[in-house]
Amino acid sequence: MHKWVSTFAITLTGSAVLGAGALAQQEAADRAQAEPAAAAETANDASFDEAFPQMVSEPLVQGDLAPPGPMVAAWGLDHVTALIGVIDGIGAEGLDPNDYDHAAIKELAEQGPSEALDKLASKNFVWLVEDLRDGRTPMDARVQWFVVDPDRNRFRSRELLNEALGTGDVAGTLSKLNPTHPDYAALRAELAETPFEETAKRKLIRANMDRWRWLARDLGRQYLLTNVPEYQLRLTVADKIISTYRTVVGKPGRTATPQLAEVVSGVVFNPTWTVPQSIVKGEGLGERVLGNPAWARSKGYRATRHDSGWISVVQQPGPTNSLGRMKLEMPNRHAIFFHDTPSRHLFNNNMRALSHGCIRTERALELAITMAILGKGATKDEAVAIATSGEYTKIMIEKKMNAYITYFTMGVDIDGNLREFDDIYGRDKPVLASLDKPRVQNRSGESDDEVIVIENNPLAG
């Protein structure tokens, strides 16, 4: 057995790669650790489903969910008083009370019930719903953000308005829109402790609180989440980090890694790499492969000259393959995915924005085998055998997993500490600037940013 296979087998057995049965036990009572690989094979379906149920839902297509025209309902004065109270305290959520006609509502309320009060209270309730649910940041300030937030379909403005007035619980109806992730709560607590004089820090906290609202309120039971400026990937179950992996992300500029929410549907072991024409033709690789067969074989390249004269090059599986030993199948129009790399020394760099957009992951085989096990695509023994076969194999997983590629410049790191991260792509500036501008409409539609299809030159950097 190759040395890397032996090392990996030890890692899989003794590290944080948890089998489903072990996770179910840990989650129930943090009992003694079970041997993860064995647990993954012996766990029955009930324990596996308990530990790793299906995600809440697939992302939904957003649309205009309310009939044309304003949403107006009759407001009792008690309900208006409750709304005023929410607006008074909305600063705790990183929003600005001045965005919601605070003084005007109070003035009208003092004059008693009226049609004008109904209209103003209804409008600002809906604005609060939109900002708490979708985020306040306008779309043109969300650089390379391509996430379709399903919350607009799950929490419809008109239904929430009816619920708030029907139950009388205006504050409770709005509070259930807040993100459930503990990192949002950590930012909220930090904002409460930060003096008003520290305006720059408070704005940074507010901007990153809003970024959580751009995502689904509930990320699901199990998921992958990578914060690009942190250069870390987390495998998370029930908001508890199970494993972490250092990453290499896109270089600043045209190949910066975009923000996405996608679904991992399979694992490719020993992948091939179809070399993009920008390298085959633009860098002369095609002619070099055809002209130097011995060198090409040493690198695993196979070239074909087609009748039209153009050359295609495919790098075969092996230790020199530019995608390494695995990639996660994650179909999306940006051609972004997680993969291994033969250039593993780069994970020791502090600054790891070096790729052409895709995310290179350390201990990638560990991650791939874990995904195959958790996704019920293969047992541990099957996955290890496939990984070490040297042959291209794609395993489609039964239990798909959501993957979130995010961009937080203040957040909780993998050690549980709230801290700032370098704004490696300069994406803070428009978000921070938007906090000083009046509230605008359409913050939850699809981005009109250019979709840059990453050609994925894993050799770059």
Note the pLDDT of residue 58. Answer: 34
Query: What is the reported pLDDT for 216?
Result: 96
Weakest mean pLDDT among 45-59, 152-166, 172-186: 45-59
pLDDT at position 189 over 60: yes
Mean pLDDT of 135-159: 94
Q: What is the mean pLDDT of residues 360-383?
A: 96
pLDDT band with cut points at 50, 70 and 90 for residue 447: low
Q: What is the model's pLDDT at position 278?
A: 81
How remote is the C-alpha of 378 from its chain's centroid?
Answer: 25
Q: Is the Cβ–Cβ distance between 235 and 229 less than 8 Å?
A: no
Give the CATH fold of the 3-51+219-272+317-406 domain: L,D-transpeptidase catalytic domain-like (2.40.440)
- Cα-to-chain-centroid distance, residue 242: 16
The lowest-confidence range among 61-75, 120-134, 231-245 is: 61-75
Q: Say how far apart CA 220 and CA 57 lie, in whole Å.
A: 8
* Predicted local distance difference test score (pLDDT) of residue 455: 52
The single residue listed with the structure tokens 């023994």 is 381
State mean pLDDT over 414-433: 98
* b/e per residue 288-320 (b: at least 16 CB within 10 A): bbeeeeeebeebbbebeeeeeeebebebbbeee
Cα 154 to Cα 388: distance, rounded to the nearest angstrom: 44
Instruction: Give all strands of the β-sheet with 273-274 in edge-to-edge order.
Output: 273-274, 311-315, 301-305
For residue 138, the tally of other CB atoms under 10 A from its CB is 16
Sorting pLDDT into bands at 50, 70 and 90, what band is 422?
A: very high
Question: Exposed, middle or buried by CB within 10 Å (0-12, 13-18, 19+), for 106?
Answer: middle
Among 48-62, 101-115, 209-223, 268-282, the least confident range: 48-62
Token pair recorded at residue 213: 């609202």
CB atoms under 10 Å from CB of 40, counted, come to 29
Can you read off the two tokens belonging to residue 50? 């308990």
- Average pLDDT value for residue range 34-52: 35
Domain ranges of the chain: 3-51+219-272+317-406, 77-217, 277-314
Q: Which residue has the higher pLDDT, 59 or 262?
A: 262
* 18 or 420, greater pLDDT: 420
In whole angstroms, give the CA distance from residue 249 to residue 351: 10
What is the distance between the alpha carbons of residues 407 and 388, in angstroms, rounded to a whole number? 34
Which of 84-98, 139-153, 444-458 shows the lowest per-residue confidence on average (mean pLDDT)?
444-458
pLDDT at position 344, please? Answer: 94
- pLDDT in the model for residue 416: 96
Nearest alpha-carbon partner for 213 in 126, 138, 291: 138
Average pLDDT over residues 4-26: 41
Instruction: Work out the pLDDT band at 50, boundaries 50, 70, 90.
Output: very low
Query: Residue 243: pLDDT above 50?
Result: yes
386 has pLDDT over 80? yes
For residues 32-43, give the mean pLDDT. 36
Task: Report pTM.
Answer: 0.81
Residue 62 has pLDDT above 50, yes or no: no
Query: Of 9-13, 30-34, 341-345, 442-446, which range is least confident?
Result: 30-34
In the chain, the percentage of residues whose pLDDT exceeds 90 is 75
Q: What is the spatial distance between Cα 174 and Cα 419, in angstroms, rounded to a whole number?
A: 28
pLDDT over 50 at 65, yes or no:
no
How many C-beta atoms surround the C-beta of residue 198 within 10 A? 11
Radius of gyration of the chain measured on its C-alpha atoms: 25
Q: What pLDDT is stored for residue 440 in this prediction?
A: 85
What is residue 315's three-state secondary structure? strand
* 70-90 mean pLDDT: 95
Mean pLDDT for the chain overall: 85
Spatial separation of the C-alpha atoms in residues 278 and 307, rounded to whole Å: 20
User: Bigger pLDDT: 141 or 28?
Assistant: 141
pLDDT at 170: 98
**Local structure of 326: helix, strand or coil:** strand
